[in-house]
């Protein structure tokens, strides 16, 4: 789960990271009011969307004085921002963060992620802050410094010092930098984060180390024990269909094709998308109804897929191991009748009670095409949209 | 032979009371697996499904000589269950539960590595479909009726893909030595490489089907092992060619975050190691037949 910049800054500041003064606004009037609480004349009006690279998309506007702030806020609020991270659809701005503008003399990058191979948290740091770190890494991998954290004891002060010296940071900033690094690590650990990133981490002309932008993501599987983090979710930033599907307990990812897929099991669902692609089609979604699906789950899944107007055909691929094809078939028939499904439905049933399932479909009177194999099903579906 | 599971395993169930735990414990017993006890804290001394129940894994091991554990405990508690099994001297632990917090798994793995190699528990999963050696033992959730005895090994990250492959083999009259679901969480216990090593020295296994997917780099490591050490044919499939970057596709571990983790990049790396690749998931049986 992702959160906004202002939320990440609030969390990190509780762990000892210095952030600029700022306040959240839902309207231009509120933005002006927030600016009054900031000591400096120059502020930034920052669009709060779940994406980086906002500056290039015009999502961060430097302002001075009430009029400029009101104008910038007015323009940003409700605007659809397309950044290199949002995809072509972009994200709509519903919240603004008004923040003190800082003068930076140097900018660093600091990031904490889990390294899957090592099964440890890794700190990455670079003296080239501000820019896109992936680009930087691709150009000059040796400029990225990495330290591995031993999970049993956590990040140690010597590791933070090592990073400071490696980066060539002025020694007068040693304490501040160590506090920042250790704070980020504790935030990562204590809040079940999957990413903590400060980019840029700036040194100001008066010798302060300040996080100018911050990003945090969290482990969805740990939200049950992080109620505070779970409450930071901004549903307006999520695809409405995906959100609905999650509420219904489905595993759904919207894609950009036109063949709706309903599959049991994530692995089989992935394989189904692949087969569609091999057959020359494009899937509209990934949808895993789970391994032990009951008839009402099929109902929810069909309902979710139909809400996506780009779906021109539905492909159902069920391999019943611990569940049963007759349940799935019953659920399908009921859902097709209930929602008056008008797009063609291709069904492949295999495994437990597959025969009974097929009989149910054939005798139901609803129009479905039964495919014998996964590949047939994919090919039939692709034919329908051509 | 077979790998990991045969008629000798003495199995305990952790997290048996829930719907899943109850259902699959019954199925394992019906299959003929030697399930010796259940562990349910605070219910020690009672019986469930005609099995003795113990408060701790330690008690269960002491009283029954159990060496294998299967975990159905819910995800907030599964990490603790794995460590309890390791501490009690369980040799093989299969964690069916998935969606476990990453940091819990980081600690579990760190904890297990703290044991001397000779006493270290082998962990399969989390998010595993378990292990089945047809005709010998089932410590998992596979629908066993279409697994017949034979000489093909299966290793799958995703449970349902493993089932699909086994079903295709069944239809083609090809039997299975052992099928293992290794799960597709971000951090898992046993990897493809460790299982290829076991199949490599298993007399009854002639060929292996390896079912990978997007996310992580373990398929690439497996391909290198195949190139350098494997004496038996292996065919592989990587699910997720059509998956976009940065989106979590159902499994916690099925997300492309770094270079080398996409299906196309993995397939490229596998090809470099001359590992045969199946790009159509409906032809596993035909593809493996050539090698038998």
Residues A322-334: pLDDT tens digits? 678 998 999 999 9
- Superfamily of B11-124 according to CATH: NAD(P)-binding Rossmann-like Domain (3.40.50.720)
A169 shares its domain with A70: no
A243 shares its domain with A313: yes
How open is the CA angle A146-A149-A152, to the nearest 5 degrees? Answer: 170
The number of folded domains in chain A is 3
- Superfamily of B142-289 according to CATH: Succinyl-CoA synthetase domains (3.40.50.261)
Mean predicted confidence (pLDDT) in B215-231 = 95
Closest CB from A121, A286, A319 relative to B250: A286
A227 shares its domain with A279: no
Q: Is it the case that residue A196 has pLDDT exceeding 70?
A: yes
> Binning pLDDT at 50, 70 and 90, where does residue B242 land?
confident
A266-278 helix and A374-385 helix, angle to the nearest 10 degrees: 50
ipTM above 0.90, yes or no: yes
Q: Is it the case that residue A131 has pLDDT exceeding 70?
A: no
* Residue B228 touches chain A, beta carbons under 8 Å: no
A28-36 helix and A66-76 helix, angle to the nearest 10 degrees: 140
> Binning pLDDT at 50, 70 and 90, where does residue A249 land?
confident
Of A31-45, A59-73, A136-150, B24-38, the least confident: A136-150
* Residue A271 touches chain B, beta carbons under 8 Å: yes
Residue A376 CB: number of other CB atoms within 10 A? 17
Do residues B155 and B208 lie in contact, with contact meaning Cβ atoms separated by under 8 Å?
A: yes
**Tokens 């100001």 sit at which residue?**
A204
A164 shares its domain with A45: no
Final residue belonging to a domain, choices A101, A136, A159: A101
Tell me the pairing of strands B122-124 and B130-133. unpaired
Respond yes or no: is residue A109 known to be catalytic. yes
CATH code, domain with A14: 3.30.470.20
Please report the residues numbered 346 through 365 in chain A whose beta carbons come closer than 8 angstroms to any beta carbon of chain B: 350-352
A161 shares its domain with A211: yes
Residue A91 in tokens: 């994200």
pLDDT of residue B261: 87
Q: Which of B114, B123, B62, B106 is nearest to B88 (CA)?
A: B62
Report CB contact under 8 Å: B280, A275: yes
Respond yes or no: is residue A75 known to be catalytic. no
Best of B130, B160, B168, B279 to substitute, by most chain A Cβ atoms within 10 angstroms, is B160
Mean predicted confidence (pLDDT) in B155-173 = 94
* Residue B281 touches chain A, beta carbons under 8 Å: yes
Of A160-169, A306-315, B110-119, B238-247, the least confident: B238-247
User: Number of residue pairs across A and B with CB atoms under 8 Å?
Assistant: 161
A199 shares its domain with A279: no
Closest CB from B102, B106, B281 relative to A274: B281
Mean predicted confidence (pLDDT) in A354-369 = 93
Chain A residues touching residue B23 (CB < 8 angstroms):
322
SS3 state of residue A257: coil
Mean pLDDT of chain A: 92
Q: Report the C-alpha gap between B250 and A246 in whole angstroms.
A: 11
Look up the domain containing A211 and give its range.
1-19+103-238
CATH code, domain with A35: 3.30.1490.20
What end-to-end distance do the CA atoms of chain B give, in Å?
17
Asked if omega into B126 is within 30° of 0 (cis), the reply is yes
CATH code, domain with A246: 3.40.50.261
Closest CB from B20, B217, B237 relative to A117: B217
* Domains of chain B by residue range: 11-124, 142-289
A216 shares its domain with A177: yes
Digit-coded pLDDT (tens) for A279-303: 999 999 999 987 665 668 899 999 9
Please report the residues numbered 29 through 48 in chain A whose beta carbons come closer than 8 angstroms to any beta carbon of chain B: none
Could you tell me which residues come within 8 angstroms of residue B11 by beta carbon, excluding any fewer than 6 positions away? B28, B33, B34, B35, B36, B66, B68, B69, B70, B139
Final residue belonging to a domain, choices A218, A238, A258: A238
A360 shares its domain with A262: yes
Digit-coded pLDDT (tens) for A57-79: 999 999 999 999 999 999 999 99
């Amino acid at each position: 789960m992702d959160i906004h910049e202002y939320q990440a800054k609030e969390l990190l500041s509780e762990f000892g990271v210095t952030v600029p003064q700022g306040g959240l606004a839902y309207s231009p009037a509120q933005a002006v009011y927030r600016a009054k609480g900031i000591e400096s004349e120059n502020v930034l009006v920052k669009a709060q969307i779940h994406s980086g690279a906002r500056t290039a998309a015009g999502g961060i506007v430097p302002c001075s004085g009430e009029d400029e702030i009101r104008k910038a806020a007015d323009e940003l609020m409700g605007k659809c921002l397309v950044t290199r991270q949002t995809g072509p659809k972009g994200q709509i701005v519903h919240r603004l963060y008004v923040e003190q503008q800082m003068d930076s003399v140097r900018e660093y990058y600091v990031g904490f992620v889990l390294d899957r191979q090592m099964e440890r948290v890794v700190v990455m740091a670079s003296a080239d802050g501000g820019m896109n770190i992936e680009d930087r890494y691709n150009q000059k991998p040796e400029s990225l410094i990495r330290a591995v954290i031993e999970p049993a004891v956590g990040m140690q002060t010597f590791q933070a010092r090592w990073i400071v010296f490696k980066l060539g940071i002025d020694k007068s900033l040693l304490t501040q930098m160590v506090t920042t690094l250790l704070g980020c690590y504790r935030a990562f650990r204590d809040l079940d984060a999957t990413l903590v990133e400060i980019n840029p981490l700036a040194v100001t002309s008066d010798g302060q180390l300040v996080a100018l932008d911050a990003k945090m993501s969290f482990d969805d599987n740990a939200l049950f024990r992080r109620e505070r983090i779970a409450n930071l979710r901004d549903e307006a930033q999520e695809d409405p269909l995906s959100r609905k599907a999650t509420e219904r307990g489905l595993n759904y990812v919207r894609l950009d094709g036109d063949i709706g897929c309903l599959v049991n099991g994530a692995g089989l669902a992935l394989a189904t998308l692949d087969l569609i692609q091999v057959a020359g089609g494009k899937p509209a979604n990934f949808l895993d109804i789970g391994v032990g699906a009951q008839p009402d789950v099929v109902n929810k899944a069909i309902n979710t897929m139909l809400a996506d107007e780009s779906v021109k055909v539905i492909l159902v691929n069920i391999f019943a191991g611990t569940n049963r094809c007759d349940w799935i078939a019953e659920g399908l028939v009921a859902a097709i009748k209930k929602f008056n499904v008008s797009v063609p439905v291709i069904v492949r049933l295999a495994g437990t009670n597959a025969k009974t399932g097929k009989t149910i479909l054939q005798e139901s009177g609803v129009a479905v095409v039964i495919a014998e194999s996964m590949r047939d099903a994919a090919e039939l579906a692709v034919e329908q949209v051509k | 032979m077979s790998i990991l599971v045969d008629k000798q395993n003495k199995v305990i169930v952790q997290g048996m009371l829930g719907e899943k735990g109850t259902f699959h414990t019954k199925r394992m017993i019906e299959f003929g697996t030697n399930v010796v006890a259940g562990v349910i804290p605070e219910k020690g001394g009672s019986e469930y499904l005609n099995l003795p129940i113990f408060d701790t894994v330690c008690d269960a091991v002491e009283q029954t000589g159990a060496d294998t554990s299967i975990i159905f405990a819910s995800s907030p508690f599964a990490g603790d269950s794995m460590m309890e099994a390791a501490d009690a001297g369980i040799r093989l632990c299969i964690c069916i539960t998935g969606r476990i917090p990453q940091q819990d798994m980081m600690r579990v793995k760190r904890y297990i590595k703290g044991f001397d190699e000779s006493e270290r528990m082998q962990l399969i999963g989390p998010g595993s479909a378990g292990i089945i050696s047809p005709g010998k033992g089932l410590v998992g959730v596979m629908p066993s009726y279409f697994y017949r005895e034979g000489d093909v090994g299966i290793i799958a990250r995703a449970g349902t893909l493993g089932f699909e492959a086994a079903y295709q083999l069944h239809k083609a009259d090809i039997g299975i030595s052992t099928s293992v679901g290794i799960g597709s969480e971000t951090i898992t216990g046993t990897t493809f490489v460790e299982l290829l090593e076991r199949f490599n020295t298993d007399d009854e296994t002639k060929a292996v089907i390896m079912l990978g997917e997007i996310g992580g780099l373990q398929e690439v490591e497996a391909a290198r092992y195949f190139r350098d050490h494997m004496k038996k044919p292996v065919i592989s499939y990587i699910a997720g060619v059509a998956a976009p970057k940065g989106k979590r596709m159902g499994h916690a571990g099925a997300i492309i975050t770094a270079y080398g983790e996409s299906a196309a990049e993995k397939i490229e790396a596998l090809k470099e190691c001359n590992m045969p690749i199946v790009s159509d998931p409906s032809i596993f049986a035909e593809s493996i037949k050539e090698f038998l």
